């Protein structure tokens, strides 16, 4: 993708970080998820000054890392983020924006 581009996963779309060789997966771009992202392998979002959005569903069975290089990046979600048992969602720098009306929602994966 061109520098500065945003990957849009539209409604009904799927991104699957599949299990396989060659280590964790990295997206060096801004992500606008309106569909489904399934992480069966670790995923790092890694782009300077990116505004990541999630109005769909992110299901993480592995490590999910939002990384900031230099300037800050933000993740804003109005959708669901489910993290598997024993896994983490780690944000380095930037902000995690989650609407107050959703802050009491809890979703746990087996």
CA–CA gap between residue 104 and residue 110 (Å, rounded): 19
Q: Break the chain into its structural domains and give their ranges.
A: 6-98
Strand order in the sheet with 80-83: 14-17, 36-39, 57-60, 80-83
Q: Per-residue confidence of the chain (110 residues) as pLDDT tens digits?
A: 676 788 899 999 998 888 777 777 777 888 899 999 988 877 777 777 788 889 999 887 766 666 544 456 788 888 888 888 887 777 777 778 887 554 444 554 44
CA–CA gap between residue 44 and residue 25 (Å, rounded): 6
């Amino acid at each position: 993708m061109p520098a500065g581009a945003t990957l849009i996963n539209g409604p009904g779309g799927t991104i699957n970080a599949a299990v396989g060789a060659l280590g964790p997966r990295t997206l060096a771009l801004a992500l606008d998820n309106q569909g489904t992202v399934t992480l069966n392998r670790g995923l790092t979002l890694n782009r300077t000054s990116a505004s990541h959005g999630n109005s769909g569903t992110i299901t993480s069975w592995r490590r999910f890392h939002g990384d900031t290089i230099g300037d800050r990046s933000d993740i804003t979600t109005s959708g669901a983020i489910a993290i598997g048992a024993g896994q983490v969602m780690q944000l380095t720098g930037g902000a995690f924006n989650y609407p107050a009306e959703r802050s009491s929602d809890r979703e746990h994966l087996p």
